[in-house]
Copies of this chain bind each other. A is one copy, B any other.
Amino acid sequence: MRLVIARCSVDYAGRLTAHLPLATRLLLVKADGSVLVHSDGGSYKPLNWMSPPAKLTVDVPGEDAREAGVVETWTVQHLKTDDRLVVSVHEVLHESEHELGVDPGLVKDGVEAHLQKLLAEHIGTLGDGYALVRREYMTAIGPVDILARDADGRAVAVEIKRRAEIDGVEQLTRYLDLLNRDPLLAPVTGVLAAQEIRPQARTLATDRGIRCVVLDYDALRGIDDVDSRLF
């Protein structure tokens, strides 16, 4: 990995054409030839970049560019498309190179799958007497996240989202329509369970008789911890 702090302007030509006026920025060159141009703010997205695989070539600028103050011209050419990033370096303020090696990569936790697992393990969160039938209950149009039965033995279909929006309500509605055609299950009620439920989604769900339940991830995990300590 090569780190360069430089006064530079940048031009990109590929799916669109874009230009960065002269300013001081970080140029990050990765081992796979990809280049990121970062400013001292904004999000994790660079101002401009070239995706791997790419090849960086550093050239002496043409006479016109040299007169305009350019000391190095970087051309980053994508190896599979004709996308190209051209960096006109006016002044190098810092430069260093580092061996990083291959990264072991990120270990994720707490996504929708984990919420589903936690809720399935603590289905009583939905109400006293609730019992799990099964996770990923298969139907003709796809798996329902959780199928349960309430204290009175009535079937309940649960749709789980990290953040519930209208499409989650639509999805659950389709499942409910289908499940209610099964005489062994009908009548099936619906529960939309999520860490966050958008107002529109809540309105639509309520209008359709679907119950909304806000999940507290930490609390569910906390129950887990208690279990772990007990056993």
Contact = CB atoms under 8 A, between A and B. Distances in A.
Contact of A31 (B25, B40, B93): B40
A55 to B, nearest CB: 15
A104 B49 CA distance: 16
A118 interface: no
A15 interface: yes
Interface in A90-134: 93-94, 96, 98-111
- Bin the interface of chain A by size: 35 or more
Interface in A10-66: 15-21, 23-26, 28, 30-32, 34, 36, 38-49, 51-52
A37 to B, nearest CB: 9
A3 interface: yes
A162 interface: yes
A70 B98 CA distance: 21
A5 interface: yes
A93 B19 CA distance: 34
B105 A24 contact: no
A96 B97 CA distance: 13
A51 B31 CA distance: 25
B52 A19 contact: no
A1 interface: yes
A163 interface: yes
